[in-house]
Amino acid sequence: MNPNNLKDNPTNTYTVPSVSIVTARSGVSSKANELGMRAMQERAYAKRGEQYLLIKSPPASGKSRALMFIALDKLNNQGLQQAIVVVPERSIGSSFADEPLSQHGFFWDWQVAPQWNLCNAPGVDEPRVAKSKVEAVRNFLACDDQILVCTHATFRFAVEELGVAAFDQRLIAIDEFHHVSSNPDNVLGSQLGEFITRDKVHLVAMTGSYFRGDSEAVLGPADEARFETVTYTYYEQLNGYRWLKSLDIGYFFYTGPYVNAIAKVLDPALKTIVHIPNVNARESLKDKEREVNEIMHGLGEWKGVDPATGFHQVLAHDGRTLKVADLVDDSDPIRRSRVLTALKDPTQKNNRNHIDVIIALGMAKEGFDWIWCEHALTIGYRSSLTEIVQIIGRATRDAEGKERSRFTNLIAEPAAEQSAVAEAVNDMLKAISASLLMEQVLAPRYEFTPKDSGPQDGFDYGEAGYKKGGHNIGVNNDSGQIHVEINGLVTPQSPEATRICKEDLNEVVTSFLQDKVALERGLFDQENTLPEELTQLRMGKIVRERYPDLSVSDQEAVRQHAIAAMNITQQAKLALAVADAGGDGATQGSTALLDGVRKFVNVRDLDIDLIDRINPFDAAYAVLAKAMDEKSLRQVQASIAAKKISIPEDEARDLAKRALLFKNERGRLPDMNAADAWEKRMAEGVAALARYRAQAKAQGASANG
């Protein structure tokens, strides 16, 4: 990972990646076993007997085919009557078209009768129009055919009309599971809860997002505990590719209309998907057709439209004729349908020259399979972190000769003359948050244990081997997982806390990165913010709110594991940046992050107090300072610092709890005049809490008087 990867090229385009990952290209993730299954599919198939199965795996890892293998086994070996595949939008239904799996060694073929792929049926998914599709679901349930494909919307309407009991003894497979939510207003989420309560169906849920539902959980804790989880990481997938060897993810700041700046990051030599902003977004020019035209004008001279495909033809400055698909203009349904049909043409799937640029608004995010895409360019912040991961997934397909991919988020830079500085800062914080989150998603998973806990099974500790008292770092060469020992680490005690520390740390980190206070203070108010306020107070609060049923000890274990995962990744990146500046080539090869972890861990014995004393946003600030105009940066810092208020009551209470832990360890309370800034801050918290209590007591006495 290289945070200082500022690149210029002959086309005058440049980007500032906040993360750049280099992979091993082992080819493992694309190799098939004797049943025709790739690595992720084989892992999922091994759990095919589970009634409730949750598959967390990146875009392009083969989840659709994994489901086919599992569903066919449930239908033929596990006694289920039928399988219903539920996808978020009609275009994704093509992912579940017929597949001759037996030609590659499997026992059965995947076959969907034309009348039962409701994604191919005309009409939209609205209650008025969907009645015929609900009737189709009713007819399917009554027939002997085994597989049906429909949208989330059709399935919701069908369950509302037919009831959950109508689906007994069937498999319900939900693709893009992050669209579901435990929020009572989410109909599909509520229906899912009813299915689990009745316990008469099998459920397979699939998602490419490791933080399902963003700020809202998809499942409640009790329901989630019913699911067996199969996790296949981005790191495993990218490392196992044959061709793609590097992925850059970053943001680029601009001033003025975005169409004037887009040429700096839109390289016509790269196969690119451009997602323009929603018409209500601050970055939008409020004229989507004009925006598309100006983007094409930036690429070259418009030469007309191919009548067969509907693709625009643009003569680029280098003399090539670019083929551009416009998915924004929906004024002519026939033309739009022609473009979509041409893009999905199966005979062109392996033709790199079929299309050059796709310009989209709300489409081409999930389930859109263009293996040649090298650059996903997004203007403005998208509606969620889940959406960002889905968009990045468009560019992470492996294809012959495609060695590098990138994602760029074009963000309006806060400027002094802007009336909506706060809104601009908000978008910028979200973009940085997304970049940092992807850093965690792309990093290998960590196995943290207390100091001198001994070697872990499956980990290689190098030629010297594991040594007590040493700087032990072990690597699982199959998964890329890294074992790190931390002095003073609290070990989770309950099965649920153990599961969270192994499976869900990215989801905890996501909540932290979505915490506006943590982002603002950590990035722009470093002079007045102590790292412990972020690592202990903010992260501690997030863990308590997310997992209220865990014991205090288990909550602290989750907090420590989450902040260690984030800070070690960030410090590894900084260590590599320093090495890069010295020219020792540390970032070359597939072990880049591991080299950075070693550099950081070997500085001194790693302990949890050291980790808590590191601002998790140090490395992000280093990138930001290079990417952003200094005047704008200072303006943002001033606006954030001005918002800082006296210690709020809930924070004072948390500081007082930390002060009690301090007293238990040291035999005295924190001192207001201490040289150590964190000790002083805890003392200030105790004093502030005493003031709040005195005020409450005085108000109570006054009310009673």
Q: What is the largest CA-CA distance in the chain?
A: 87
Q: What pLDDT, in 10s, does the model give residues 237-261?
A: 888 888 988 888 877 888 888 888 8
The pLDDT > 70 percentage for the chain reads 85
Q: Would you say 121 and 152 are in contact if contact means Cβ atoms under 8 Å apart?
A: no
What is the arithmetic mean of pLDDT over 50-72? Answer: 90
Whether residue 421 is found in the same domain as residue 279: yes
Residue 498 has pLDDT above 70, yes or no: yes
Alpha-carbon torsion, ordered 101, 103, 107, 109, to 10 deg: 40
Q: What pLDDT, in 10s, does the model give residues 289-319?
A: 899 999 999 899 999 999 999 999 999 988 8
Whether residue 604 is found in the same domain as residue 656: no
Whether residue 410 is found in the same domain as residue 475: no
Q: Would you say 553 and 544 are in contact if contact means Cβ atoms under 8 Å apart?
A: no
What confidence category does residue 589 fall into, taking pLDDT thresholds of 50, 70 and 90?
very low
Which of 117-121, 209-213, 309-313, 398-402 has the highest average model confidence (pLDDT)?
309-313
Burial class (CB in 10 A: 0-12, 13-18, 19+), 350: exposed
From CA 636, how far away is CA 639, in angstroms rounded?
5
Whether residue 274 is found in the same domain as residue 397: yes
What is the arithmetic mean of pLDDT over 283-287? Answer: 83
Whether residue 373 is found in the same domain as residue 473: no
Whether residue 363 is found in the same domain as residue 473: no
Q: Would you say 23 and 590 are in contact if contact means Cβ atoms under 8 Å apart?
A: yes
What average pLDDT does the structure give for the chain?
Answer: 82
Range of the domain at 397: 17-21+242-433
What is the arithmetic mean of pLDDT over 416-431? Answer: 67
Structure-model confidence comparison of residues 518 and 26, the more confident one:
518
- Quote the pLDDT of residue 141: 95
What confidence category does residue 604 fall into, taking pLDDT thresholds of 50, 70 and 90?
low
Task: Out of 255-259, 416-420, 557-561, pick the least confident.
Answer: 416-420
Q: What pLDDT, in 10s, does the model give residues 633-661?
A: 777 777 776 666 578 888 888 998 999 98
- Whether residue 564 is contained in a domain is answered as yes
What is the arithmetic mean of pLDDT over 333-358? Answer: 88
What confidence category does residue 673 fall into, taking pLDDT thresholds of 50, 70 and 90?
confident
Residue 525 has pLDDT above 50, yes or no: yes
Whether residue 559 is found in the same domain as residue 705: no
Whether residue 458 is found in the same domain as residue 504: yes
- Whether residue 319 is contained in a domain is answered as yes
Whether residue 217 is found in the same domain as residue 118: yes
- Whether residue 6 is contained in a domain is answered as no
Q: Which of 613, 643, 673 is the last residue of a domain?
A: 643
Helix axes 552-581, 505-513, angle to 10 degrees: 80
- Whether residue 2 is contained in a domain is answered as no
Q: What pLDDT, in 10s, does the model give residues 141-153?
A: 999 999 999 988 8
Positive or negative, the CA dihedral 27, 28, 30, 31 is positive
Residue 129 has pLDDT above 80, yes or no: no
Structure-model confidence comparison of residues 497 and 13, the more confident one:
497
- Quote the pLDDT of residue 584: 43
What confidence category does residue 75 fall into, taking pLDDT thresholds of 50, 70 and 90?
very high
Whether residue 188 is found in the same domain as residue 107: yes
Residue 462 has pLDDT above 50, yes or no: yes
Q: Which of 433, 454, 484 is the last residue of a domain?
A: 433
Q: Which of 237, 266, 288 is the last residue of a domain?
A: 237
- CA 128 from centroid of its chain's CA atoms: 35
- Whether residue 12 is contained in a domain is answered as no
From CA 40, how far away is CA 400, in angstroms rounded?
21
- CATH number for the domain harbouring residue 379: 3.40.50.300
Residue 6 has pLDDT above 50, yes or no: no
Q: Which amino acid is at 403?
A: E
Whether residue 702 is found in the same domain as residue 629: no
Helices (H), 443-515: 495-503, 505-513
- Quote the pLDDT of residue 284: 81
What is the arithmetic mean of pLDDT over 164-171? Answer: 96
- Whether residue 603 is contained in a domain is answered as yes
- Whether residue 3 is contained in a domain is answered as no
- Quote the pLDDT of residue 10: 36
Structure-model confidence comparison of residues 424 and 514, the more confident one:
514
Give 3-state DSSP helix, strand, coil % of the chain, rounded to 5: 45, 15, 40
- Whether residue 391 is contained in a domain is answered as yes
Contacts of 259 (CB under 8 A, 6+ apart): 285, 291, 294, 295, 298
What's the total number of domains in the chain?
A: 4
What confidence category does residue 3 fall into, taking pLDDT thresholds of 50, 70 and 90?
very low
- Quote the pLDDT of residue 373: 92
- Quote the pLDDT of residue 383: 63
DSSP state letters, 398-442: --TT--EEEEEEEEEPP-TT-S-HHHHHHHHHHHHHHHHHHHHHH
Whether residue 666 is found in the same domain as residue 535: no
